[in-house]
Amino acid sequence: MAHTASEVTANAEGLKVIYDATCTFCGCVCDDIDLTVQDNHITEAKRACVLGKAWFLNHSIDDRPSCLIDGKPASLEAGYDRAARILTDARYPIVYGLSDSPCEAQRVAVSIADWINGTVDTTTSVCHGPSGMAFQGVGEVTCSLGEVANRGDLIIFWGANPAESHPRHFTRYSLMPKGMFLPNGRKDRTCVMVDVRRTKSAKAADIFIPIKPRCDFEALWTLRALVKGVELDPEQVKADTGVEISVWQDLADRMKAARFGVMFFGMGLTMTRGKHANTEALLALTKDLNAFTRFVSKPNRGHGNVTGADNVVSWRTGYPFGVNHARGYPRFNPGEYTTSDVLSRCEADAAMMIACDPMANFSQPARNHLASIPYIALDAKETPTTRAAAVAFTVATYGINTGGTVYRMDDVPIPLRPAFDSPHPSDFEVLSAIESRVKNILGIRA
């Protein structure tokens, strides 16, 4: 397992500083945090945002057993044995979560799903899954975040609220940086927000366009038409989008006049009416704009390593999420093999939930079914999901107690620099131990 040694300075009082540690709280994956650590406690997280500070400074190691079987403390060995039994006895096991685990652990999880002919799915299926499907339809014109910092002169946020979800997005990547071709930073950029409500992010925008809820698809197609010079009926546009055509025309003109335009989009686009059709429209608009100038787009991914999960599942199976191995090889069908659907249709008969909390955020039918089947849960904290698990492992927190690799929302892989050890095993260790037992039970020699 990749494990990058931390750059550390330590003094006699046991105070140490980890330089350029990586924050995994959101998809920004800021890797410039200096952590001051004393007595297994982080006392300072330099450069971290409000969310990152909360992540690091409030971190404590849960004083609970590393393993619980049916809610009772048990040895790790007993937990591994029971977990392997549950997974190998099942006819339709599902492995889910993964977006808050390092790639090294994700890889083991996909192996387990392969050995047990199970389904493997990630939290992508409930956030940017529609973006992944749209991508399969039209492709994507995109770039790394440093390109935005160095070149982006028109920055559009669509259905995204980075001020609250990705607090350093503006300062590190999208609005404030003085880039190679934008020596004056913010002054050289125009920022446009398109949303159904005035979020905290709207304050950062030069132009705010409040659209009618559930009409993103119409709004994006309006822009596609205007960019291509198609004449539209102003009244129809106003009725469809809640915005005057002149506003859209102005935006279309700015898009074409930009040197390097960027559209960031969030779940306000992907999880509203239209879902993947909305994202398809946005990706197609981006592609259209490249006939006039350079234009890119990018989903604002949420979880720290959800992008890594997409990558790992893709390179091992060929598909990004919602992958079923029941026939002994990978098949992909969102809606059929995605976890919330599999559970709410009462199909799975066992599960392994890795760093996710479906008992807190899935639909009632899905939760009811999950509660009725034996499942394994891995989490650093106690959650509704760990409470109802047949086997619950308390794991070390990635990026704070364990190393590994995470992928930033722009697919850039970044190493983790752990601050201090945890008495709990890492999810990589737990999954590896389960995998070796699964292989033993099934006679797998690979």
Partner 1 sequence: MSSADYTRISGGTVYDPANGIDGVIKDIWILDGRIADAPSDPSVRPSRNIDATGLVVMPGGVDMHCHIAGPKVNVARKMRPEEKRRGEVLHRTLTTHSGTMGSVPSTFATGYKYAGLGYTTAFDAAVPPLGARHAHEEFEDTPCIDKGFYVLMGNNHFVMQSLQEKEPQKLKAFIGWLLCATKGFAPKLVNPGGVEVWKSRQGGNVSGIDEMVEHFQVTPRQIITGVTQAANELRLPHPVHIHCNNLGMPGNWETTLETMRSLEGHRGHITHIQFHSYGGGDGDENTFNSKVVPLAEYVNTHPNVTIDVGQVLFGSTTSMTGDGPLGYFLSKVYGGKWFSSDTEMEGGCGITPIKYRNKSLVHALQWAIGLEWYLLVNDPWRVVMSTDHPNGGSFLAYPQIIRFLMDRTYRRDVLATCHPMVRERSTLMDLDREYTLNEIAIITRAGPARILGLPNKGHLGPGADADITIYTPNDNKEVMFEMPRLVIKSGRVIVEQSEIREALIGKTLHVQPHYDVEVEPSIQQWFEKYYSIRWRNYPVDLSYLHASEVVPGI
Judged by CB under 8 A, the chain residues 36 through 95 that form the site for partner 1 are none
One of 127, 226, 282, 296 touching partner 1 (CB under 8 A): 296
One of 407, 418, 425, 426 touching partner 1 (CB under 8 A): 407
Alpha helices in 176-329 (DSSP H): 216-227, 234-241, 245-257, 267-270, 276-289, 306-317
Residue among 31 and 427 whose Cβ is closer to partner 1: 31
Distance between CA atoms of 251 and 108, rounded to whole angstroms? 46
DSSP string, 394-444: E-PPBTTTB--EEE-TTS-EEE----S--SSPPHHHHHHHHHHHHHHHHT-
Work out how close the CB of 440 gets to partner 1 at its nearest, in angstroms, rounded to a whole number: 12
Residues 227-266 that bind partner 1 (CB under 8 A): 259
Q: Should residue 276 be labelled a site residue for partner 1 when binding is judged by CB under 8 A?
A: no
Distance between CA atoms of 440 and 80, rounded to whole angstroms? 12
One of 27, 52, 132, 302 touching partner 1 (CB under 8 A): 132
- Which has the closest alpha carbon to 132: 276, 269, 337, 333? 276
Give the total of residues touching partner 1 (CB under 8 A). 76
Contact range with partner 1 by CB under 8 A, out of 17-25, 72-80, 236-244, 344-352:
17-25
Residue among 177 and 358 whose Cβ is closer to partner 1: 177
One of 130, 152, 159, 320 touching partner 1 (CB under 8 A): 320
One of 216, 218, 310, 341 touching partner 1 (CB under 8 A): 310
Work out how close the CB of 366 gets to partner 1 at its nearest, in angstroms, rounded to a whole number: 25
Work out how close the CB of 261 gets to partner 1 at its nearest, in angstroms, rounded to a whole number: 11
Alpha helices in 155-244 (DSSP H): 162-165, 216-227, 234-241
Work out how close the CB of 145 gets to partner 1 at its nearest, in angstroms, rounded to a whole number: 5
Contact range with partner 1 by CB under 8 A, out of 201-209, 267-275, 309-317, 356-364:
309-317
Q: Should residue 12 be labelled a site residue for partner 1 when binding is judged by CB under 8 A?
A: no
Radius of gyration of the chain (CA): 23
Contact range with partner 1 by CB under 8 A, out of 67-75, 93-101, 177-185, 234-242:
177-185
Residue among 31 and 357 whose Cβ is closer to partner 1: 31
Contact 73, 67 (CB under 8 A): yes
- Report the run of H or E that residue 298 belongs to, with start and end: strand 294-299
Q: Should residue 100 be labelled a site residue for partner 1 when binding is judged by CB under 8 A?
A: no
Tokens (6 digits) for 336: 């059929």
Contact range with partner 1 by CB under 8 A, out of 134-142, 222-230, 362-370, 428-436:
134-142
Q: Which residues contact 67 (CB under 8 A, 6 or more apart)?
A: 73, 74, 75, 76, 78, 79, 391, 392, 393, 394
Contact range with partner 1 by CB under 8 A, out of 63-71, 154-162, 186-194, 400-408:
400-408
- Report the run of H or E that residue 351 belongs to, with start and end: strand 350-354
Q: What angle do CA 429, 391, 304 make, to 5 degrees?
A: 50
The torsion defined by the Cα of 218, 222, 223 and 227, in degrees rounded to 10, comes to: 150
Residues 333-362 that bind partner 1 (CB under 8 A): none
One of 12, 13, 183, 443 touching partner 1 (CB under 8 A): 443
Residue among 205 and 283 whose Cβ is closer to partner 1: 283
Residues 136-155 that bind partner 1 (CB under 8 A): 136-147, 149-151
